[in-house]
């Protein structure tokens, strides 16, 4: 006897088997996604988040695996929400890859910068099913990159805006760095020229550059010998002045470079044009010399005046006549001992600031006063 199966029953069994395999695939995907340290998510064709892995749920502080299309927007920073929503909507509508960065509120209340990348999903017959994506907290990476960029800009500014000409030569004697100021100081480029400075000497032997500049120095042999000594002794430092032909003077600093492990990396050379400083120094020295000479002359003249004053006082003190000087009010400002003795004063200083009225009868003092005032008014001697 031959039995025939019901075709409908076979179809049902096949459909059940397919559903079972689909559920197994979904469970396997969720298990794999939950074990992933990165935030993984999946949307449907309408943009609804059908699945959030454990990393996503932990970041957002939720235990829900599904999220409505608009619910996640409340977690986006207000300044980033427009950009983020537009990028997400465009990817959903055009079935194209998504790439966006936005600040998202973490469960602890801190705004973190997330970078999200997603790819569209399609069925075997080409039907769009949604997007599957990954999000990563890139806050520290971006901050580190910004810090690195700032450091690079700072280094560039310090290198290009400094007054020193900088030259770095590695352990093999090759020039690995030089700034524009170095070229200007040595006259290798026009300091007033605009645009990108030429890479003179970069990647070449320091000996080549040395041959270019050594003839500009007043004492080429001493210059060359000292440079060789410094290269032969990596740990020696150098600080000196280099006189150039034409009257310019450069200040030179040099030191060896080693890393934290002590390995020799090369040598740093710093040059600064101190011609104006030296000229100012010379002018200041000349001015000081002139001031010193003038001061010596003043001291000599003051010494002569002091001697003359002493001789005058000696003359006044020793002359046998009455000698005195009075101001416009007929007050004594100078008097000799002979006059002081005549008016019964102990010393000439007792007369200073006083008048004849302090020493003579009024009638006589008044006569003296009138005579003195007539002399001062007329300018004629009495």
Does 155 fall in a domain?
Answer: no
Please state the length of the chain.
382
Does 89 fall in a domain?
Answer: yes
State the average pLDDT over residues 298-308.
Answer: 83
Q: d(Cα 60, Cα 73) in Å, to the nearest integer?
A: 12
Q: Are residues 102 and 40 in the same domain?
A: yes
Does 1 fall in a domain?
Answer: no
| Domain endpoint, select from 238, 273, 308 | 273
CATH code (residue 94): 3.30.450.20
Q: Are residues 99 and 133 in the same domain?
A: yes
Q: Are residues 49 and 135 in the same domain?
A: yes
Q: How many domains does the chain have?
A: 4
Q: d(Cα 149, Cα 297) in Å, to the nearest integer?
A: 64
Does 239 fall in a domain?
Answer: yes
Nearest to 238, CA basis, from 248, 249, 226, 222 = 226
Q: Are residues 248 and 168 in the same domain?
A: yes
Nearest to 167, CA basis, from 243, 97, 250, 87 = 250
Q: Are residues 45 and 135 in the same domain?
A: yes
Residue 77 main-chain phi, psi, to 5 deg:
-60, 140
Q: Are residues 69 and 88 in the same domain?
A: yes
Q: d(Cα 70, Cα 347) in Å, to the nearest integer?
A: 112
146-168 pLDDT, tens digit each: 777 766 666 666 666 677 888 88
Does 5 fall in a domain?
Answer: no
**pLDDT number for residue 193:** 57
State the average pLDDT over residues 275-298.
Answer: 84
Q: Are residues 199 and 220 in the same domain?
A: yes
Does 50 fall in a domain?
Answer: yes
Query: What is the sign, positive or negative, of the torsion defined by CA atoms of 350, 353, 358, 364?
Result: positive
| Residue of 334 and 12 predicted with greater confidence | 334
3-state SS string for 232-255: HCCCCCEEEEEEECCCCEEEEEEE
Q: Are residues 139 and 30 in the same domain?
A: yes
192-232 pLDDT, tens digit each: 655 544 545 567 788 888 888 999 999 999 999 999 999 99
pLDDT at 284 over 80: yes
Does 216 fall in a domain?
Answer: yes
Q: d(Cα 39, Cα 83) in Å, to the nearest integer?
A: 20
| Domain endpoint, select from 273, 306, 339 | 273
Q: Are residues 313 and 323 in the same domain?
A: no
Least confident span in 74-78, 119-123, 280-284: 280-284
Query: What is the sign, positive or negative, of the torsion defined by CA atoms of 293, 298, 301, 306?
Result: negative
The rounded mean pLDDT for the chain is 83
Residue 55 main-chain phi, psi, to 5 deg:
-60, -40
Does 124 fall in a domain?
Answer: yes
Q: Are residues 170 and 131 in the same domain?
A: no
Q: Are residues 30 and 140 in the same domain?
A: yes
Q: Are residues 264 and 287 in the same domain?
A: no
Expressed as residue numbers, the domain containing 170 is 162-273
pLDDT at 36 over 80: no
**pLDDT number for residue 157:** 62
């Amino acid at each position: 006897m031959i039995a025939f199966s019901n075709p409908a029953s076979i179809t049902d069994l096949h459909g059940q088997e397919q559903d079972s395999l689909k559920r197994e695939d979904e469970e396997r995907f969720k298990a794999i996604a939950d074990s992933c340290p990165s935030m993984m998510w999946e949307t449907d064709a309408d943009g609804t988040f059908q699945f959030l892995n454990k990393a996503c749920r932990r970041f957002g502080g939720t235990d829900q695996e599904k999220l409505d299309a608009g619910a996640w927007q409340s977690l986006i920073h207000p300044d980033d929400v427009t950009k983020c929503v537009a990028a997400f909507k465009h990817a959903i509508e055009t079935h194209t890859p998504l790439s966006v960065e936005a600040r998202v509120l973490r469960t602890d209340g801190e705004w973190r910068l997330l970078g999200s990348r997603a790819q569209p999903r399609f069925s075997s017959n080409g039907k769009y099913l949604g997007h599957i994506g990954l999000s990563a907290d890139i806050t520290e990476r971006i901050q580190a990159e910004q810090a690195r960029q700032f450091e690079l800009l700072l280094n560039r500014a310090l290198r290009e805006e400094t007054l020193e000409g900088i030259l770095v030569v590695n352990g093999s004697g090759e020039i690995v760095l030089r700034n524009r100021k170095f070229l200007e100081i040595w006259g290798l480029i026009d300091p007033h020229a605009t645009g990108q400075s030429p890479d003179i000497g970069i990647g070449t032997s320091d000996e080549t550059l040395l041959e270019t500049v050594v003839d500009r120095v007043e004492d080429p042999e001493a210059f060359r010998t000292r440079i060789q000594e410094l290269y032969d002794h990596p740990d020696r430092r150098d600080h000196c002045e280099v006189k150039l032909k034409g009257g310019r003077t450069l200040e030179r600093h040099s030191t060896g470079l080693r890393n934290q492990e002590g390995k020799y990396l090369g040598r740093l050379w710093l040059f600064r044009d101190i011609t104006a400083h030296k000229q100012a120094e010379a002018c200041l020295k000349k001015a000081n010399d002139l001031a010193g000479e003038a001061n010596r002359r003043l001291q000599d003249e003051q010494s002569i005046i002091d001697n003359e004053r002493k001789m005058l006082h000696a003359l006044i003190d020793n002359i046998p006549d009455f000698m005195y000087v009075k101001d416009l009010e007929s007050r004594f400002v100078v008097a000799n001992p002979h006059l002081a003795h005549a008016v019964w004063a102990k010393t000439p200083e007792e007369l200073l600031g006083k008048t004849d009225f302090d020493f003579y009868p009024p009638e006589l003092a008044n006569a003296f006063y009138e005579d003195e005032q007539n002399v001062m008014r007329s300018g004629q001697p009495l």
